[in-house]
Structure 1
Amino acid sequence: MFMLVNCSNCHTPLQLPPGAQSIRCAICRGVTLIADPRSLPPPGSSHQPYPPPSSSTASSPYNHAPPGAPPQVHGRKRALIVGVSYTNSRHELKGCLNDAKCMKYLLINRFKFPESSIVMLTEEETDPYKRPTKYNMRMAMYWLVQGCQPGDSLVFHYSGHGSQQRNYTGDEIDGYDETLCPVDFETQGMIVDDEINATIVKPLPRGARLHAIIDACHSGTVLDLPFLCRMDRYGKYIWEDHRPRSGMWKGTSGGEAISFSGCDDDQTSADTSALSRITSTGAMTYSFIQAIERGHGNTYGNILNAMRSTIRHTDSQIDGGVVTTLITMLLTGGSVGGGLRQEPQLSSNEPFDVYTKPFSL
């Protein structure tokens, strides 16, 4: 029976084996000594790393912010960047490491994220705790939100394979959970959208913001956010209600969570050199960065339209990435007949006017 104990240095929840007197954190590498085992939760207890959502008098069922004025702004920036290449496997992707490096450069140079506040998980890392394994991804997601306070800006970027699996709880409109695939997913399993939501969405306090940028197949609702922006090719949109019929809580604890994803839940995403003409990239990551760099990053609606336009205008070239796309299809079961089509998506914990709400990280 494993129990949870917080790291004495960075406060990340750690799974403590029975009888252990110390444990090393996978994020900060600090060692936590267990001085008094009697202070730990008893076996079988339902100790949770986050408290349940508090009650609220707010009108929205997905806004659990406490009443009154918001607390004092804190203002830290923190990011988790994951690029999974699946090197030397039948699922290998060529552009994910480039995506991770480009996103780090963008956050540091355009949005002034301190380099020390960015955790990178890629197969290029020599530190075993910085490889994109399932365990490391889980611990890094805990780190991302740990100690989050009002005014904090968090970013989660993922470039790699995504997939789907049958949902049996009734909280998915299409009957499928969306998943992310760590480098060791074939032996350790995938990370399901329910876990991603519980780890980095639900704990967000009032005044904190999370932006997820997910470049993967089947990623439209991979954060399980309650509302999806359904936009047509002319820029007209409605917010589609994805709140589970079971009534399960999928919102935040008063904070703001917004996700840009590479495609709809039933689509696949390209890993190709057709866009940059120089090196392989994820089509979604490339189009997102291009939207920012070309001055379309003032509102969420402008970013989404610019991303879709970039991908739509290169559809005929994306067929150049058909070999990589075929590798992707081995995992997702999709089809490449007629060329790849993907439409980036926007989802949120609350609906908003996408053309007036300013975008900022």
Structure 2
Amino acid sequence: MPRKKAVIIGINYFGTDNQLKGCINDAFNVREYLIQERGFSPHPNDMVMLTDEPKNLGTPFYPTGANLMAAFGWLVSCNNAGDSLWLSYSGHGSQVRDPDGDRESGLDDTICPVDFKQNGQISSDTLHKALVSLVSPYCRLTILFDCCHSGSAVELPYVFRPEADGQVNMVNNVKQGMNLLMATSDLLRGGFSVDKMNDAKVLLGGAKSFFHNLHHPQTADESGLADENFVEDWRNEGKDVWMFSGCADSQTSADTSMAGAATGAMSWAFINTMKNNPRQSYIQVLQSTRTQLVQKYSQIPQLSVGGKYDLNQPVSF
């Protein structure tokens, strides 16, 4: 019988200069959502949660790099046809120099285990080889990454570019660009400060990017899928992998508060979107999360895919 398996990660980096507030909450929110709304079992044979709560120190559930890699191996092992696999990560994302020379930025995305200062970060290339390359082609792996610089954090070969897709309403993109311009104007009202100017530059840069893409869209096919450029031949793997990420490679992802509780902006937007309408398509979920975040945040959620699949099918995991 098909099986559901999940690995859920939340790292707050307690007591460090890198401390976050909402990542462990994100992990528990995702856990509750998967159990109550998606039929996942909380049994430890089916669901593994790694957080840096003090009680997990010294156990396999403390999110060190070694423990994360072991959890990834468990997730993608011994899978039967029809299995549904889930991976979510809330924590710090960063970038390191790209050793392959295939990224225009010269940088690879990374995630940061709790011990990243001692033992290093986990690069996008490593994540792909540990997850995508090893997952059965007969299983579906769904990934939610709520961290900075996460657009191509597992190096999936195709990314959805709505600006290049004729089926996506161009007016929506114009509205988003206008919202960013209006946010810039609102931010600068009431006095000048260096912080305000820096925030305004980010918002204005996002607006310019929207309008630039309307005139100079990135190459994509009729479905809106554009090729990502990697040295490795990831396109021929044909894995059934779908990833929602909180922002583009060049952006940061907000650690914020909703209803008085600390949370990641993308985790909140994704869960809220799916609860409101669980039968949305992949494109609709992406648009819904972007709409929820664009009013307050500069980050732009991304959707990347392991193959050229129908993005209008309902989200399934």
Q: Give TM class, smaller chain.
A: 0.7 to 0.9
Which residue of 36, 54, 57 maps to 1:109?
36
Range with greater deviation from structure 2 (99-108 or 234-243): 234-243
Does residue 272 (structure 1) correspond to residue 232 (structure 2)? The answer is no
Residue type matched to 2:293 in 1?
I
- Structure 2, unmatched stretches of 5+, are 164-169, 174-213, 215-222
Aligned to 2:194: none
Specify which structure has the bigger relative contact order, considering alpha-carbon pairs within 8 angstroms and separated by 6 or more residues: 2
Aligned to 2:115: 184
Aligned to 1:255: 239
Q: Is the 8 A contact 1:204 1:253 kept in 2?
A: no
Does residue 175 (structure 1) correspond to residue 106 (structure 2)? The answer is yes
Q: Secondary structure at the match of 1:172?
A: coil
Q: Is the 8 A contact 1:204 1:254 kept in 2?
A: no
Instruction: Work out the CA distance in 2 between the residues paired with 1:278 and 1:242.
Output: 39
Instruction: Work out the CA distance in 2 between the residues paired with 1:297 and 1:121.
Output: 29
Does residue 224 (structure 1) correspond to residue 224 (structure 2)? The answer is no
Residue type matched to 1:218 in 2?
H
Percent identical: 37
Q: Is the 8 A contact 1:173 1:242 kept in 2?
A: no
Aligned to 1:46: none
Aligned to 2:185: none
Q: Is the 8 A contact 1:229 1:347 kept in 2?
A: yes
1:164-200 deviation digits (Å, cap 9, x = unpaired):
1111212334321100001110111000111110011
Aligned to 1:357: 313
Aligned residues: 258
Does residue 75 (structure 1) correspond to residue 31 (structure 2)? The answer is no
Which residue of 12, 17, 23 maps to 1:85?
12
Q: How does 1:232-247 map to 2 (within 5 A)?
A: 232=163, 234=172, 238-244=224-230, 246=231
Aligned to 1:289: 271
Q: Secondary structure at the match of 1:115?
A: coil
Q: How does 1:1-361 map to 2 (within 5 A)?
A: 74-116=1-43, 117-124=46-53, 126-127=55-56, 128-232=59-163, 234=172, 238-244=224-230, 246=231, 248-251=232-235, 253-273=237-257, 276-295=258-277, 297-313=279-295, 315=296, 340-354=297-311, 356-361=312-317
Provide the alpha-carbon RMSD of the alignment: 1.8
Q: Secondary structure at the match of 1:100?
A: helix
Instruction: Work out the CA distance in 1 between the residues paired with 2:155 and 2:70.
Output: 19
Q: Is the 8 A contact 2:88 2:145 kept in 1?
A: yes
1:18-41 deviation digits (Å, cap 9, x = unpaired):
xxxxxxxxxxxxxxxxxxxxxxxx
- Larger Rg belongs to: 1
Residue type matched to 1:124 in 2?
E
Instruction: Work out the CA distance in 2 between the residues paired with 1:210 and 1:243.
Output: 21
Instruction: Work out the CA distance in 1 between the residues paired with 2:105 and 2:85.
Output: 29
1:280, CA displacement in angstroms? 1.0
Q: Is the 8 A contact 2:8 2:89 kept in 1?
A: yes
Instruction: Work out the CA distance in 1 between the residues paired with 2:253 and 2:97.
Output: 20
Instruction: Work out the CA distance in 2 between the residues paired with 1:226 and 1:253.
Output: 9
- Structure 1, unmatched stretches of 5+, are 1-73, 316-339
Aligned to 1:25: none
Kindly indicate which of the two structures has a greater share of residues assigned to helix. 2
Instruction: Work out the CA distance in 1 between the residues paired with 2:268 and 2:158.
Output: 25
The ranges of structure 1 where at least 4 consecutive aligned residues each deviate by more than 3 angstroms after the TM superposition are: 251-255
Q: Is the 8 A contact 1:78 1:155 kept in 2?
A: yes
Q: Is the 8 A contact 1:296 1:306 kept in 2?
A: no
Q: Is the 8 A contact 1:296 1:303 kept in 2?
A: no
Range with greater deviation from structure 2 (223-232 or 264-273): 223-232
Residue type matched to 2:316 in 1?
S
Aligned to 1:34: none
Instruction: Work out the CA distance in 2 between the residues paired with 1:297 and 1:177.
Output: 34
1:212-231 deviation digits (Å, cap 9, x = unpaired):
00000000000100011122
1:250, CA displacement in angstroms? 2.2
Instruction: Work out the CA distance in 2 between the residues paired with 1:297 and 1:222.
Output: 26
